[in-house]
Structures are given as C-alpha cells and as structure tokens.
Amino acid sequence: MEKNLTQGSIKKLYFDYTVTEEGMDEEKTESFVLNIARDPKERAEEEKKAEKSENQEKTDEESEEKEITAYARAGESQIVYQLSTEEYESLMDRSYDSLRHQEMFWADFKDVSELEILLEGNTYIITSDKKGDERVYRYLDEELELADIRSAIKGLRAETFTDETPDGKEEISLTIRMDNDNYPETTIQLFRYNGEECIAVVDREPVAFVARSRVVDLVEAVNGVVLK
C-alpha cells in the first residue's frame, strides 16, 4: 500500500523486546518505533467541521462515532499498514502514558558514538572509536571512562508526563549521536521548573517532569569529565 506519512501528523510509539541469538545464552534488548498517522485529508476535514460547529449544538448524526482512517509503519520500513478504527483507538488509548518510555534516553548506550553537551554556555564534545566490540570514548583526545555520565543519563526518568512549554533556565542540553539507523540522533534539553523538578524536552517536544536531583547528577558527572 503506497501512502505517505507526513511528519507533522505522526505519533511515535516505542517498544522494547528481548531476543536470544541462536547458540547464545545471553539475552539482549532491542527496540523499534511504530509510526502511526491519521489520513491527512480526513483529519483536515474534521478540523474544519470542528471549527464550524464549535458554537453549535451537535446533531444526533454528528454525535455518532465516525470511522477513522489511519496507517502504521514500523521504523523506516516502506511497508505501510492500514489500521481499523478500533486498532487505532486502542493504540492511542494505551500510548499516553502506559506505552511511553519512562527514560528520556532508551537506546542501547553501546551505539552512542558522540555526545555534544551544552552546559553554562560552553559546548563539550565527547567522541569515540570502536575497537572490536568495545567503544573507547575520548574528550580532547584523552581517553575517558563514561560510566558516571552513562548512569546519569539513564537516571533521567519521567516523574509525570507533560506537554508544558518550559520557561525556566536551561540547565543542560545533550545531543546524542548513534550508530543506529532507526535512532541516528536525539537531543535532550533539561529546563529548571522549580527547586524539585525540571522539564525534559526531547527533540524539541516537551515530554516529562524529571527530578532536578537527577539533572544535578548529570551536570556533576559532566563536570567531572570536562573540568579535569
């Protein structure tokens, strides 16, 4: 089925699953993204009707449930599937917040090839080289241990989800680049909300409140590397 899923109308659902490779006992976690979109023409027509009837009483016919045309695509696959109204509504009902990642960064850290960090007006770039299955990280050409930064990034978890636009100070910003076709790059910005919480903005979209103590842990971990 040939359909274009326009970026502005797409909702993304992220899924983790565990696999065991043949002949191996060790399990590993992999991820995929499911892109879901309404038919753009149908959605535009509904928005126009909603504007016209905003101050009018709904008729019985308008109050009846309408069939929805929606499509889904896994990752960057070229195959697009049509969803039934029931399938679409079920996915939307479950997505926010039960299917959302609690972590602000959920990809496998072994794929992280570069970190660009903006802190207090300064930009720091941590690069890496791959040696076999191991990745060696460097800052200013000096090899470094990334365990504290990795742990602090993984510690950025949603207390509650929000779409509130932050207006406080940006505490720290991370652009994480990866050797992963599905997730080549993601940017996490953390803005102060109050003394206890920060708002996390992921790829320019407000996502969640996170504990400010976790953000402080991240700032300290970064300073522990760049201020040596």
Please write the tens of the pLDDT for every residue from 122-147.
Answer: 999 999 998 878 899 999 989 999 99
* Strand pairing category for 142-144 and 134-139: antiparallel
User: Does residue 23 lie within any of the structural domains?
Assistant: yes
Given a cut of 50, is residue 63 above it in pLDDT? Answer: no
In a domain, 150, yes or no: yes
Q: What are phi and psi of 116, to 5 degrees?
A: -110, 120
- Could you give the dihedral angle defined by the CA atoms of residues 184, 188, 189 and 193, in that order, rounded to the nearest 10 degrees? 160
Cα–Cα dist 136/142, whole Å:
10
Confidence of residue 88 (pLDDT cuts 50, 70, 90): confident
Token digits of residue 20? 């065991």
- Neighbour count for residue 8 (Cβ, 10 Å): 7
Q: What is the pLDDT of residue 209?
A: 96
Rounded-to-5 percentages of helix, strand, coil across the chain: 25, 40, 35
End position of a domain, from candidates 46, 72, 99:
99
Q: Which residue has the higher pLDDT, 61 or 11?
A: 11
Strand partners, 117: 124, 174
Among 34, 66, 99, residue at a domain's last position:
99
Statement to judge: residues 59 and 133 lie in one domain? no
Mean pLDDT for 39-57 is 72
**Cβ burial, residue 227 (10 Å; 0-12/13-18/19+):** exposed
Rounded CA separation 39/54 (Å): 22
Asked if 33 contacts 182 with a C-beta cutoff of 8 angstroms, the reply is yes
pLDDT at 65 over 70: no
Q: Looking at per-residue confidence, does 109 or 149 come out higher?
A: 149
Q: Indicate whether 169 pLDDT > 70.
A: yes
Q: What is the DSSP letter of 165?
A: P
How many domains does one find in the chain?
A: 2
Helices of type H across the chain: 40-52, 60-63, 85-94, 147-154, 212-226
Q: Are residues 62 and 124 in the same domain?
A: no
- pLDDT of the residue at 1: 34
Specify if 1 maps to a domain. no
Q: Are residues 124 and 207 in the same domain?
A: yes
Return the CA Rg of the chain: 21
Tell me what pLDDT residue 4 has.
Answer: 44
Residues 117 and 75 in one domain: no
How far apart are the C-alpha atoms of 41 and 28, rounded to whole Å? 41
Residue 137 structural domain? 109-226
Check: CB of residue 221 under 8 Å from CB of residue 211. no
**How far, in Å, CA of 118 to CA of 170, rounded?**
9
> Residue 69 — φ and ψ, nearest 5°?
-105, 120
